[in-house]
Chain A
Amino acid sequence: MEHISKRFPGVLALDSVQFDLFKGEVHVLLGENGAGKSTLMKILSGAYEKDEGNIFIDEHKTEINGPSHAQELGIGIIYQEFNLNPYLSVAENIFLGREPTILPGIIDWKKIYRDAQELLDSLNVDIDSKQIVETLGVAMKQMVEVAKALSLNARILIMDEPTASLSNNEIEALFKTIKKLQTEGVAIIYISHRLEEIFRIGDRVTVLRDGRYINTKPVSDLTKDEMVKMMVDRDLDNHIPKVKADIGDVVLEVENISVKDRLHDISFKLRKGEILGIAGLMGAGRTRLAKTLFGAERIVSGKITVDGIEVRMNSPRDSINAGIGLVTEDRKNEGLILDLSVKQNVCLPNMSKFITNGWINSGKENQAVDQYIDKLNIKTPTRNQLAIFLSGGNQQKVVLSKWLCSDAKIFIFDEPTRGIDVGAKTEIYQLMNQLVAKGVAIIMISSEMPEILGMSDRILIMRNGRIAGELSDSEASQEEIMNYALGEAYEAVL
């Protein structure tokens, strides 16, 4: 691809970018959010039309006319947001549009389920090809996407943050599959923020920044810091800038909380100024715990006490009034209202603050929002920009602002930096530091080891809806966490 440019209303997403790919290589595409990686790949996979530039496949100049044309050319893409039909089965999703038929128009159900199951098994994933996609969790859905792309026999496979929701086991399986595909001559374009992974499987890496091409180098020629520097042009010597704060009194006490079938007898204490990390594998119940503490799940038994006063959690409003804020795992569907503006989203849980004599006081709202745009460095043209237009990192900052605005004293972060570029990640960690310095207490659910180890003062590990173990700052290590999470001895792979 050369001199590729793409314009959107008001924004130059790609400015004369170049990219090349060899057969059988894993070529990592690296860059901050908004750097243009997704846009470039959407052009290659036919979802967008380029405004300028040329694409050569097998040295033939090619025009890609749409997603199906791209598929015909052997280009497959696995999006970070899934492209699945939740009401159909896994097999139907994998073979959508290409179903094997007995007669024209009549699907060969036996074959479709069998073929799909083979694909799933080859990925070491425990899914029944007959399962309806809606019932699967985030990680499983992604595996279906991987299976779908594989079924297309792509020669070029684009993977956009494929491991974001995968457990370590699943990542291993994925890497195995990638290696296998490489030997078959498939070229893989791998978009990821996880530097450790890049070093493991990447052959070359191309860095984009602000829609421009920066450089392409073999992975072996680079160190972590050098890679990061290319991405953000600043030195990040310590990626996890934890600043320990004074730990005060107990602000939250959770006693024997149970949720029907899902959480059993959860108890712990949280102190002011503390960051409590919660680790665990997919399905351990961490998000459910977060939702329960926020009043979004029905508590069967147990007690929650904030600042010594028992709180009856019947709805999120109770939780918000008690001073709890939840930064959800899925910010697009649960954290933000995309049709509303930055300002409207930030002020939404706190409207009573901005009402004067029954009317919304725009002045107060604007003041509040501008404060957060400034403090958190939210990149948006105006405060009235609709949330849907912000990049992932900035969207997360808007969600944070919501709770800052509500003066929450307890923040629950569920995967706070997933899908966010390094620069914004650091900003969020620094924000957490500022919060705890002021006496806020933080519960941080995370699947990223460096993050959990780096930021937490204490770590709870969950497994099967219970607290499996607790580690203090000094005791904690990746092996220890994994031990508790798996419930058996864990052998280091990394």
Chain B
Amino acid sequence: MKQFFNNQNLDQIRQFGTFFGLIALCLLFTILSPYFFTTSNLLNVAQQSSIIAVISVGMTFVIITAGIDLSVGSVLAFSGVVMASVLHAGLPIPIGIIVGLGVGFSCGLLNGLLVSYGKIPPFIATLGMMSIARGAGLWFTDGRPISGFDDSFRYLATGEIFYIPVPVIIMIVVYVIAHLILTKTKMGRYTYAIGGNEKAAVLSGINIKLYLNIIYGIAGLLSALGAVMLTARLNSAQPIAGIMYELDAIAATVIGGTSLFGGKGTVIGTLIGALIIGVLRNGLNLLGVSSFIQQIVIGSVIIGAILLDTNLKMKKN
């Protein structure tokens, strides 16, 4: 029984707490609005959260290594418009998507190189990339969106498999893969090691540079996947898409229990975090709460989540 309180379990309690928070929120909105707890609205929420949820996975990996990626929104926009132009040029959809993902991965890889070889703090490196990718996207399209795609492409947003919207399925697949990587592969173990103590990780023979590059690359790749999903949804790739998405991704990651200091966190937590944000926006919309107040509420939830995290951290020490 005494063992119950060892640190592992405190983390699980924390995660359970976040999940409990999500349930509590759902309960609250169910009581306050008759429109919340319907199948169509719940699927609605899941779909609305899916893009941020996917991007947040990449953010989670990066934050676990004690880094941060501010460029996800801009990379989303840039990879989106490149993909869109490939599709508009008549090339097959899979090629377009691969090119888009490739662009995203490359931007992420560049971030990784700046951090691992250039030794530039992640905040600064990705801040720079945020601006560069945004500019690249605007330059590439001359500021204009690229719109109108085949139905087969839009299926990625509008389609359903066994009544579940495709974006939700994509989200679930991404999370399952990410969870497996983090918990059951060498790379996952190394991710936690690098974030927990970089020096000790080096002295354990881990090739930090290689793994940081891969991890930032993944973040870029997932931003590009977000672009694919967003473009299909809006039937349009905008160079101004994704502005401030990085903040939502960071929020979801932090609410989900990942520590900004690195070494701790799970993608399941991030999923719950993304859903909490999605539920909040949806519920407050349904209740007709003004968007200004929505901003206040969401910001407060983020602070509340961090407070709980610091609190638990203190308990551990």
Contacts and interface: CB of A to CB of B under 8 A. Distances in A.
Interface of A: 9-11, 294, 296, 315-317, 319-321, 326, 328, 333-341, 344, 347-349, 351-352, 355, 358-360, 381-382, 384-386, 388-389, 402
B283 interface: no
Given A348-B189, A360-B186, A334 B205 contact: no
A341 B8 contact: yes
Contacts of A317: 205-207
A80 B89 CA distance: 67
B197 interface: yes
Q: Which of B2, B8, B184, B203 has the most CB of A within 10 A?
A: B203
Taking chain A's interface residues, is the majority helix, strand, or loop, or is none over half, making it mixed?
mixed
A54 B159 CA distance: 71
Contact of B192 (A321, A335, A340, A382): A340
B200 A344 contact: no
Given A296-B203, A381-B3, 18 more contacts: A9-B2, A9-B6, A10-B4, A315-B202, A315-B205, A328-B203, A334-B199, A334-B200, A335-B200, A336-B197, A337-B263, A340-B263, A341-B8, A348-B204, A358-B185, A384-B6, A384-B8, A402-B204
Contact of A336 (B7, B185, B200, B202): B200
A45 B148 CA distance: 71
Contacts of A337: 192-193, 196-197, 200-201, 204, 263
A347 B185 CA distance: 13
Contacts of B3: 10, 381-382
Contacts of A344: 189, 192-193
B266 to A, nearest CB: 13
B83 to A, nearest CB: 29
Nearest to A317: B205
Taking chain B's interface residues, is the majority helix, strand, or loop, or is none over half, making it mixed?
helix
B5 interface: yes
Contacts of B263: 337, 339-340
Interface in B204-226: 204-207
Contacts of B281: none
Interface residues on B, range: 20 to 34
B154 interface: no
B264 interface: yes
Interface string B111-130: 00000000000000000000
Interface string B169-185: 00000000000100011
A335 B203 contact: yes
A340 B185 contact: no
B207 A360 contact: no
A339 B203 contact: no
Contacts of A340: 192-193, 196, 263
Given A339-B264, A359-B185, A360-B189, A11 B2 contact: yes
A358 B185 CA distance: 7
A316 B204 CA distance: 7
A10 B190 CA distance: 30
Given A348-B206, A382-B3, A339 B8 contact: no
Interface of B: 2-8, 180, 184-186, 188-190, 192-193, 195-197, 199-207, 263-264
B213 to A, nearest CB: 15
A319 B180 CA distance: 30
Nearest to B183: A360
Contacts of B188: 360
10 smallest beta-carbon distances between A and B, as pairs: A9-B5, A10-B2, A339-B196, A339-B263, A337-B196, A317-B205, A320-B205, A386-B7, A337-B197, A349-B204
Contact of A315 (B8, B185, B207): B207
Contacts of A336: 197, 200
A443 to B, nearest CB: 16
Given A337-B196, A339-B264, A385 B6 contact: yes
A209 B197 CA distance: 32
Contact of A360 (B185, B199, B200, B202): B185
Contacts of A339: 192, 195-197, 263-264
Nearest to B197: A337
B196 A338 contact: yes
A351 B186 CA distance: 6
A349 B184 CA distance: 16
A338 B201 CA distance: 11
A359 B177 CA distance: 12
Contact of A386 (B8, B193, B200): B8
Contacts of A385: 6-8
A139 B190 CA distance: 33
A336 B198 CA distance: 10
Contacts of A402: 204
Contact of B202 (A296, A352, A358, A386): A296
Given A339-B192, A339-B263, A333 B200 contact: yes
A351 B189 contact: yes
A313 to B, nearest CB: 12
B6 A381 contact: yes
Given A316-B205, A348-B206, A10 B200 contact: no
A38 to B, nearest CB: 14
A181 to B, nearest CB: 32
A401 to B, nearest CB: 12
Contacts of A381: 2-3, 6
Nearest to B194: A337
Nearest to B207: A317
Nearest to B8: A384
A316 B202 contact: yes
Contacts of A294: 203
Given A340-B192, A341-B8, A326 B185 contact: no
Nearest to B2: A10
Q: Which of A359, A381, A402 has the most CB of B within 10 A?
A: A359
Nearest to A326: B203
A129 B73 CA distance: 48
Contacts of A319: 205
A333 B180 CA distance: 29
Nearest to A12: B2
B152 to A, nearest CB: 33
Nearest to B180: A359
Contacts of B195: 339
A334 B192 contact: no
Nearest to B188: A360
A328 B197 CA distance: 14
A260 B69 CA distance: 36
A337 B190 CA distance: 11
Contacts of A320: 204-205
B119 to A, nearest CB: 15
